[in-house]
Amino acid sequence: MEGLEYDNAMEHYYTLKAKYDKALRKAKTKIKRSNDSMEEKRRKIRKLKKKCVKCRRAGGTNFTNNGEVLKATCAAETPCKLHIEIQKSNYNFLPTEIKHNRKIIADLKQRIIIIKLEFLYDLEKESETIVKFDKVKKLFESYFEHLTTLETLLEKNYNWTNRISEIEAARLQLYTYNEQFKEAINDFKINDNLTAVKDGIQLYIDQILPLQEEVQNNQYARLYVDADNEESEIKFRLVSERNSILQKEEMWKEGKVLSNIK
Ligand SMILES: [Zn+2]
């Protein structure tokens, strides 16, 4: 993933879309609550002039999401520069992929047995059997290789436990440093000990700050995008890796910011 650039573009897209949808909903609600007849209300809603979220010109903003690419552009007659286009990154859940592959492999094994049986019972000519057998065998091999790759990936990602124990260790260390820091500050407050406060600040700069950063980076290593759900406005959220299933996911396709013109 492109990291910050990608996250920024994502946030930009969803923020604008939420703003746009909200304005539209508000305008519709206003019409619905008016004293007009049903027919008049419908007519007004149909004729509702959408405004571009960026330039406010009539025509509105086009937000599209085909599952792969998110796009926002101005739909006014003379469009403004707004152009967000993001190729979404694509995650697959590894255990599901592995299960799926195992099933295919089991089916292929069955087919190999059937081919062998057909040959044994003389139901088919030898040449036909060989062609069929080779085909299935090749499929079997490629799926088997794929399965091995997936299993290796999963194992690699399970190394995650190491990372979590590292976070725990860093947290403990951080706690100790913080206590030392507090002590130094207290020492200064009570005894006017300047050396203590200087040491405390040094400790803060040299140890506490970098460690805090490390813990944060480790814990919130990735932002990831939820599955599309048109119902909810914000589909983009920060998920702590510790509670997520991301450690069992592998990125299939890298996300890319194609444009992010505000
Ligand atoms: Zn516009």
Chain segment 55-95, per-residue pLDDT in tens: 999 999 999 988 778 899 999 999 999 999 988 776 566 66
From ligand 1's centre to the CA of 65, what distance in Å?
18
From ligand 1's centre to the CA of 30, what distance in Å?
24
Full-model pTM:
0.43
Termini Cα distance of the chain: 21
pLDDT band at residue 115 under the 50/70/90 scheme: confident
Domain ranges of the chain: 4-88, 92-157, 160-219
Q: Across residues 172-187, what is the average pLDDT?
A: 85
Q: What is the pLDDT of residue 82?
A: 95
From ligand 1's centre to the CA of 60, what distance in Å?
7
From ligand 1's centre to the CA of 63, what distance in Å?
12
For the beta carbon of residue 17, count every other beta carbon within 10 angstroms.
20
The mean predicted confidence, pLDDT, of the chain is 76
From ligand 1's centre to the CA of 83, what distance in Å?
9
Tokens of 72: 């926002």
Instruction: Kindly tell me the sign of the dihedral angle through the C-alpha atoms of 236, 237, 243, 248.
Output: positive
**Cβ proximity of 222 and 246 under 8 Å:** yes
Cα 255 from Cα 5, distance rounded (Å) = 10
| Residue count of the chain | 262
Vertex 94 angle, CA 255 and 111, to 5° = 120
For the beta carbon of residue 59, count every other beta carbon within 10 angstroms.
16
From ligand 1's centre to the CA of 53, what distance in Å?
7
Q: Percentage of the chain surpassing pLDDT 90?
A: 12
Q: Which residue has the tokens 């897209």?
A: 13
